[in-house]
Structures are given as structure tokens and as C-alpha cells.
């Protein structure tokens, strides 16, 4: 099981806990947060309750959270229908190794028991913090405490904190990655290897992302698409053949076949489905990074909404060829990164609600609406070529390396668009900077 939180929340937690290590290293500090379970494997921390001086009893050689402090968090969390609480506390003298003390082992079960009496069915987490190490355990319903594996901090970058209690030395990577270790070190490679990455869309861009991420060392990929291979896809669909067209094979099957034939050790799972189907979307609960390679606006809206709701890092990419009459006007490749606290695809103006309306109508009905002359025809097949898709995919894959081992000078507000016709790369601004976003609540407040 893992925990996920945002950089904004983690910074606040870290500030409190760091007092133990900045000062004379005698006082234990702690903080209570609220957890929310997502699927079977993930706990989210979205709210924390900053302690005041009287909330923590630091006098007895072991930290005790005051009853009113616990009660305040518990009442709020229970009312909001959350799963439980998370208790962080420090062991000021621990450095590279930390473990629960005898005091923790005797006091904690009593605390959990008390909490469950007033809040039946609740599940709680405890994390003990040393200077350079963290150890975590979870009290699931009706079970003994279980070890937690990792805490993902999602923001401008992705930080992974091991909860095993010591500083883990990453294993020596396979020689396959020798020539990439300056860009992605052993530690970062281990993160990519463990991370579960979902690629949504197995078309011209999605198939390239699968290939690039496998070769970057990503170990657990999930590919989702419900389309079959058509002859007009063959100009850009990696590994697809005319036999796939004749046999009406699914795009995901083509990717799986290629993956099985390769010596790289990554796993590739496929889903023949669409994220607009709630049961398919639900399967993304245990995912650590979303990659959107879809050209329809409604599934992109659904993914964006899911990422915003559940603190998921989401890289969305695409390419567009603009035609005016007979003339080629633009060749654009775009990569956008959505993370908690930052603007989403909606406030960046990358989701068109009029298109979503039309996408939701049956073909005949849609043709009638388009016939009224008030909206763009979304049934025209857009031009697409592999080399333009490659520009977007290549940058997205590099950006994912950057997320786990930063190297971009201005990686922050990632919304980048490259124009091949003008040979320029630019960052894209927000569409309606003065309005609060209806999806993520983002208000324009960065320069």
C-alpha cells in the first residue's frame, strides 16, 4: 500500500517535523492529517490539521497528541466521510534508520481502539520520522498493523519517500541502461521501474509513449484503448500491419504483441475499453502516473477530472496539423502537465465543452446539430503524421524523466507547445485568467 499527497501539503508537514532536526534535537514533533482510501492500494492525504502549542504534549520523552487535537481532526474527517487519520511523529535522534519505539507500540493500538469506538470502520496510519528516514504502518479494518511501502509527493516533480525505515540504496540497474544513467540515475530508474504508469490511447502518440517509456526503464505499464486498427492508421501506428487491419485487431493487442517480443523486462497490461466507462476509470485508482494520448475532449475531461480529484500527476500530449483551404498552416506538438495545486487542462483552455456536447450525440443527431452551422465539424478526420507525434512523445518522455530526476531549467508550469512551421517553442498561458476554474478551483496567481 502507498500514500499520495501534494507538494503543497507535504511542505507544511515537513516544516513541522523538521523542527525536531533543526533545533537541539530533543523535542518530538507531530502532526495529524486526514486520509482517504482510493481503491485497495492508495491512501490520499489532502487535509492536515496544523498543531498549536497545546495540541502536543512533548514532556514525557514520548510525544502525545492532545485529545482535543485528535477529536478536532476525527470529527471533521468522519463528517466528510473520509477513511481515517494519519499521525506523523518524529524521533529526533534517528538519522538514516528509524523504527517505532516501545512507547509507540504500546500507545498506538490503544489510540486506534479508542478511535474505532467512536468511529467504527475507520482505518488509520502512523508514520515515524527520522532525519533521513521514514517508517509507516496502516491499521486496516479488523487487521493487525501492516507495513506501508511508499509515500508519493506530487507537485512540480514527483518525490518518492520510502516508508521502510531506512535509506534504501537502489539496486544496480541492468547494463541496458548504462548509457542513460547520467540522465536517469539508479535511484530515479528504480522509481520509474516501480511506478505504475497508465497510457490512455494506443493510437499514433500512445504507441510511441509505450515504446519510449519501456526503453526509459518504466517497469509497469497499462495501456487503455478500445479502437481497432484501420488502414489509415498504418502511417503512424508502430508495429501494426495490414494483417491487423484485415483481422480487425485492437490497437492494444498490437502493442502487447510487440512488448512480448522484446527483451526488455517491463510488464505491459492492456485494457480494451474507454475511460469514459466508470468501471474502466476505476481501474486507474492504483496508478501512479497518467499519460493522456487521446484526441477526443470528453475522455480528456474525464481523465483531467480524475487526476485533479485524486492528486494524480497527469501528462497530456498531442499534435495538431492546421490546414487553411489547401495550405498547410501549422504543425504543432503539445505537452501539458497537470499536478495538484497547478492549473488543469480545463483552465488552460485545452478542453472544448462544445466538442464534448457534440461527442456525446449519436452520429445522426450530431450531423443535424453541425448542420445548423453553429459549431465546428468534429467528424472530419484530422491529418496526422508519425514524425509530428514523435515530437510530442519525445518531449513527454523526457519530461517524465525530469519528474523523477529534475533537469529542466523551467520545469514548473509545464504547458509547452512547439510550432514546427515557425520553429518556435513556447509556454502556453491560461485561457480565462480571471475566472476560477470549475474543475480544479485554480485561480490565476502565478506569473
Per CB under 8 A, residues contacting other proteins are 276, 298, 301, 353, 356-362, 364-365, 368-369, 372-374, 438
Q: Answer with the entry of Zn ion, other proteins, none that 358 interacts with (C-beta below 5 to 8 A by kind).
A: other proteins
In the bound complex, what is the minimum distance in angstroms from residue 289's beta carbon to other proteins?
24
Give 282 or 353: the residue with its C-beta nearer to other proteins: 353
What residues between 310 and 339 interact with Zn ion by CB under 5 A?
none
Residue 439 as a binder of Zn ion (CB under 5 A): the answer is yes
Decide if residue 303 touches Zn ion (CB under 5 A). no
State the nearest-atom distance from the C-beta of 154 to other proteins, in Å.
Answer: 24
Query: Is residue 440 a contact point for Zn ion (CB under 5 A)?
Result: yes
Binding partner of 442, given other proteins, Zn ion, none, CB within 5-8 angstroms per partner class: Zn ion
Smallest separation, CB 304 to other proteins (Å): 11
Q: Which does 347 bind (CB under 5 to 8 A by kind): other proteins, Zn ion, none?
A: Zn ion
Taking the complex as a whole, the smallest distance from the CB of residue 263 to other proteins amounts, in Å, to 43
Assess 404 for contact with Zn ion (CB under 5 A). Answer: no
CB of 59 or CB of 364, closer to other proteins: 364
**Could you tell me the end-to-end alpha-carbon distance of the chain, in angstroms, rounded to an integer?**
37
346 binds Zn ion (CB under 5 A): yes
- By C-beta, is 102 or 374 nearer to other proteins? 374
Residue with the shortest CB distance to Zn ion: 437
CB 123, min distance to Zn ion, A: 30
312 vs 347, beta carbon nearer Zn ion: 347
Of other proteins, Zn ion, none, which one sits near residue 39, judging by CB under 5 to 8 A according to partner kind?
none
| 395 versus 442: smaller Cβ distance to Zn ion | 442
- Binding residues for Zn ion, rule: CB under 5 A, are 344, 346-347, 437, 439-440, 442
Amino acid at each position: 500500500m502507498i500514500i499520495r499527497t501534494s507538494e503543497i501539503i507535504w511542505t507544511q508537514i515537513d516544516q513541522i517535523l523538521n523542527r525536531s532536526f533543526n533545533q537541539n534535537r530533543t523535542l518530538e514533533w507531530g502532526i495529524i492529517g486526514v486520509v482517504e482510501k482510493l481503491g485497495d492500494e492508495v491512501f490520499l492525504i489532502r487535509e492536515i490539521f496544523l498543531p498549536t502549542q497545546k495540541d502536543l504534549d512533548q514532556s514525557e520523552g514520548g510525544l502525545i497528541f492532545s485529545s482535543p487535537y485528535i477529536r478536532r481532526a476525527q470529527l471533521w474527517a468522519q463528517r466528510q466521510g473520509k477513511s481515517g487519520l494519519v499521525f506523523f511523529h518524529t524521533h529526533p535522534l534517528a538519522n538514516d534508520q528509524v523504527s517505532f519505539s516501545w512507547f509507540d507500540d504500546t500507545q498506538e493500538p490503544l489510540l486506534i481502539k479508542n478511535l474505532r469506538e467512536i468511529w467504527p470502520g475507520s482505518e488509520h496510519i502512523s508514520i515515524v520520522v527520522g532525519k533521513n528516514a521514514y517508517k509507516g504502518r496502516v491499521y486496516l479494518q479488523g487487521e493487525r498493523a501492516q507495513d506501508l511501502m511508499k509515500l508519493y509527493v506530487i507537485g512540480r516533480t514527483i518525490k518518492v519517500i520510502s516508508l521502510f525505515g531506512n535509506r534504501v540504496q537502489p539496486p544496480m540497474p541492468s547494463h541496458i541502461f548504462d548509457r542513460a544513467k547520467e540522465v536517469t540515475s539508479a535511484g530515479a530508474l528504480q522509481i520509474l521501474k516501480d511506478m505504475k504508469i497508465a497510457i490512455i490511447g494506443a493510437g499514433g502518440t500512445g504507441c510511441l509513449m509505450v515504446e519510449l517509456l519501456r526503453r526509459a526503464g518504466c517497469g509497469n505499464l497499462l495501456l487503455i484503448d478500445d479502437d481497432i486498427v484501420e488502414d489509415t492508421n498504418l502511417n503512424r501506428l508502430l508495429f501494426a500491419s495490414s494483417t491487423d487491419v484485415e483481422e480487425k485487431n485492437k490497437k492494444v493487442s498490437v502493442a502487447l504483441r510487440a512488448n512480448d517480443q522484446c527483451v526488455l523486462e517491463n510488464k505491459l497490461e492492456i485494457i480494451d475499453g474507454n475511460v469514459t466507462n466508470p468501471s474502466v476509470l476505476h481501474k486507474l485508482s492504483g496508478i501512479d502516473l497518467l499519460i493522456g494520448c487521446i484526441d477526443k475532449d470528453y475522455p480528456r475531461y474525464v481523465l483531467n477530472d480524475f487526476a485533479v480529484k485524486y492528486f494524480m500527476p497527469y501528462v497530456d500530449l498531442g499534435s495538431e496539423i492546421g490546414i487553411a483551404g489547401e495550405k498547410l498552416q501549422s504543425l504543432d506538438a503539445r505537452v501539458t502537465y497537470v499536478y495538484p495545486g497547478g492549473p488543469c487542462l480545463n483552465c488552460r483552455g485545452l478542453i472544448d465543452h462544445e466538442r464534448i456536447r457534440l461527442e456525446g450525440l449519436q452520429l445522426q443527431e450530431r450531423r443535424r446539430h453541425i448542420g445548423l452551422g453553429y459549431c465546428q465539424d468534429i467528424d472530419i478526420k484530422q491529418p496526422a503524421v508519425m514524425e509530428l507525434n514523435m515530437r510530442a512523445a519525445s518531449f513527454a518522455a523526457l519530461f517524465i524523466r525530469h519528474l523523477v530526476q529534475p533537469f529542466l531549467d523551467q520545469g514548473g508550469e509545464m504547458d509547452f507547445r512547439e510550432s514546427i512551421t515557425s520553429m518556435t517553442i513556447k509556454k502556453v498561458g491560461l485561457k480565462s485568467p480571471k475566472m476560477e476554474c470549475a474543475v480544479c478551483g485554480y485561480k490565476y496567481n502565478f506569473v
